[in-house]
Structure 1
Amino acid sequence: MTRALIPFSATTLALLAVPCPAVARDYGQHGTVWSIAEPDLLEQIRARLARLEASGETAKLNAALQRRTVAKVQRPDPVPGLAPATTSRSWTFDPTITVDADIKDARGIVIIARGTRVNPLDTVPLRSPLVFLDGDDPASLDWAAATFGKRHPKVILVSGAPLALMKARKLRIYFDQGGTLVRHFGVKAVPAVVEQKGRVLMVTEHALKPAPARAS
């Protein structure tokens, strides 16, 4: 049997035959060397808090936070984007929802199947109108009291001081924090009223003052 030979040049063979020793050198020390020291973050925080406590800053911060919290409760941030109604308008709001998953009772029996359309008004009617008001507008408050007083409306402010008005008006008053309700019903101006009409809700923005006349 003839073996195949791979030709090597003399130079290649010579390179392969020469060993390559590993060389290690000590280059000495250049410059100053410090040990690694990482500060303890928790210890820094504790020290900072201790200094604040000793200087009285902690008490000042707590007092300032308490004042801001009380101020927010007494006068929450007004709902942005609302204006006094200059034109009355009404529309219907259908609260019907489509159930996206089976609703089961405690025994696992399906009581409402997925895909069923459910109108909450069929089981929980809106017995009192929802009246959205600017709490800083006394005329709106007087109008609501005169118009809906005997129907025990749920007065919901979009601006103003609810606690002070509760005390002054002897009413239970709510506040639409963040404008969740007015966005849900599509309210753009106040005063606005939400009432039940059959199986839908009627939403009405009431213009208490006529719109300013346009210059011809």
Structure 2
Amino acid sequence: MKKTLLAVLTASLLSANSFGNNGEIGNLIDEARNQNLSEEELATITELKNESKRIKAQTKEEMTSLTETKASEQSMLIQTKKTIYELRETMDPQTYENLLTSLTEQEKNIAGNSVEASDQDLSRYPIYIFASQSMGDAALKSLYAGVAGEKNVFIIFRGILPGENLASFSKRQHMLYKPEKDDENETRTFFPPNIQINPVLFRHFNVTDVPQMVIADPEHLNGNSTCMSYANGADISDVCYLSRISGISNHVYLQEEAKKSHFGNLGKLGDVLQISEPDMAEEMKRRAMAYDWKKAAERAKDNFFRDRKPVYLPTAIYRRTRYVDPSITVQEDVKDAYGKILLPRGMMINPLKHTLMTGKYVIFNATDKAEIQRVTDYVSAHPDDDFTFMIDDIYHDDSENGWNEYEKLVKAFKQRVYLMPDNLPHELGVMVTPTVVYADNEKQVLILEELGKIGQKTPNKSIAVEKRYQYE
């Protein structure tokens, strides 16, 4: 039993697989003591344990040296590629291509012979490609086609061109990435690229020319990330990235470099251009500072009533009460996301079956003193009711007088007064002013009280329920 245990312990101490498994070795030594091994046998075990530690330390040193050698070779290859790029105009094209192919093969060999080959999962890291319209339509069109459908790849612009607006910018970019028809009738499946205007990212990553690419690490997930500090108001914040490169816009190349553990700033591998768009955030600040807000407010106030076209409903002659069915007819089938018909065409829907209408809506012409008096008398006669006042017109040709009259109304009714939407009479069946509109929620009809002249008899005392659009 002792010899068997000693053999197992010796094998475990000498095994490379147990270098990091100190807990198992400790358990074996404790068990050896419990088995009453001799002092000589315990001394042998201690000597073997010390030898195991020495081998482990030597192996770690060799692995570190090998990793440093790999990193050095990779750095030399990157520098060589940069030098070849700078001298490309002095070479014939075939020689240039052959050199790049050779260097790429060497990179693959180094990555394949590494002690612990890097296999970075880059799907969780956003890739920013900083672009500008100065790159030209052809370059942008090629860029958009290359990133279409890539969920974690974003093309970032700093702003829009002087004299351009967001609508024209969007239309211009759409023309560059929209799919082309394969034939007269079919269009191939297409996923548009992720295009953003984000001047903040340009500043945070200190991008001053294009194209540039960055594999960002916004959540600081990777210990290999490079972080840059920037002013965030009164505080100092940082933004981190795994790898970045300028002069090219092929995101696949940058991803492959990161997978080979080529982190940090990989330098410039192509021509760069100036950014033609100004910083949108700074441009907005500049325009806001230059804008005369006080003058604009005065102009808006002056034009508020003048720009509105009043409905001009006729004044009520008779005092009468009308009953209106507010039902609407569904004009087209209403379907859900799966094509199931929820509301078929021709179906009648009464909104009062699904919701309660509370309070009373008073619609009147604020330029007619007699109408204002009728409304005032009606409100006084119904002190417990909740009213919403909506006016048809209020001196739209005289802005100053319009505001004065509006303030008088607010003061008289002790609450806010609203301008009536143009389509409201049509929707509620209002034909004259002043009219008070409220609902009989139990019978599911609208009640319209037309406030004609005091004491005037109504020629029609019928209480038949009207259809809302029967007079069209």
- Give the TM bin, normalised by the shorter chain: 0.5 to 0.7
Q: Distance in 2 between matches of 1:75 and 1:195?
A: 30
Where does residue 389 of structure 2 map in the other structure? 155
Q: 2:432 aligns with which of 173, 189, 197?
A: 189
Matched, 1:81 2:307: no
8 Å CA contact 1:156–1:175 kept in 2: the answer is yes
Where does residue 134 of structure 1 map in the other structure? 365
8 Å CA contact 1:194–1:202 kept in 2: the answer is yes
Written as runs of structure 1 = structure 2, the 5 A alignment for 1:109-148 is: 109-136=340-367, 137=369, 138-148=372-382
Inter-CA distance 150–182: structure 2 relative to 1 (3 Å threshold) = same
Inter-CA distance 92–111: structure 2 relative to 1 (3 Å threshold) = same
Where does residue 452 of structure 2 map in the other structure? 207
How far 1:171 sits from its partner (Å)? 1.4
Question: Which protein has the larger Cα radius of gyration, Structure 1 or Structure 2?
Answer: 2
8 Å CA contact 1:76–1:177 kept in 2: the answer is no
8 Å CA contact 1:155–1:173 kept in 2: the answer is yes
Where does residue 420 of structure 2 map in the other structure? 176
Partner SS for 1:140 = helix
Inter-CA distance 134–147: structure 2 relative to 1 (3 Å threshold) = farther
Q: Deviations over 1:182-215 (max 9, x none)?
A: 244443432211222322212221124456xxxx
Higher relative contact order (CA 8 A, sep 6+): 1
Structure with greater proportional helix content:
2
Q: Distance in 2 between matches of 1:129 and 1:107?
A: 40
Inter-CA distance 105–145: structure 2 relative to 1 (3 Å threshold) = same
Aligned AA (1:143)? D
Inter-CA distance 96–203: structure 2 relative to 1 (3 Å threshold) = same
Matched, 1:103 2:334: yes
Aligned AA (1:117)? M
Q: Distance in 2 between matches of 1:183 and 1:113?
A: 24
Matched, 1:93 2:338: no
Q: Distance in 1 between matches of 2:348 and 2:429?
A: 22
Partner SS for 2:304 = helix
How many residue pairs get matched?
A: 151
Q: Distance in 2 between matches of 1:98 and 1:71?
A: 41
How far 1:76 sits from its partner (Å)? 7.2
How far 1:119 sits from its partner (Å)? 0.8
Aligned AA (1:181)? L
Q: Any stretches of 5+ residues in structure 2 without a counterpart? A: 1-162, 164-290, 395-402, 457-472
Q: Distance in 2 between matches of 1:159 and 1:208?
A: 20
Query: What's the TM-score, normalizing by structure 1?
Result: 0.54
Inter-CA distance 123–76: structure 2 relative to 1 (3 Å threshold) = farther
Q: Any stretches of 5+ residues in structure 1 without a counterpart? A: 1-41, 43-58, 212-216
8 Å CA contact 1:86–1:210 kept in 2: the answer is no
Q: Distance in 2 between matches of 1:201 and 1:130?
A: 11
Q: Distance in 2 between matches of 1:190 and 1:172?
A: 19
Query: What's the TM-score, normalizing by structure 2?
Result: 0.28
Q: Distance in 2 between matches of 1:76 and 1:154?
A: 23
8 Å CA contact 2:319–2:454 kept in 1: the answer is no
Partner SS for 2:357 = coil
Partner SS for 2:447 = strand
Q: Deviations over 1:127-152 (max 9, x none)?
A: 11221123343413422421344221
Inter-CA distance 175–71: structure 2 relative to 1 (3 Å threshold) = same
Written as runs of structure 1 = structure 2, the 5 A alignment for 1:6-25 is: none
Q: Deviations over 1:59-106 (max 9, x none)?
A: 99x95x754531343677573433432212333222212223333446
> RMSD value over aligned CA atoms?
3.5
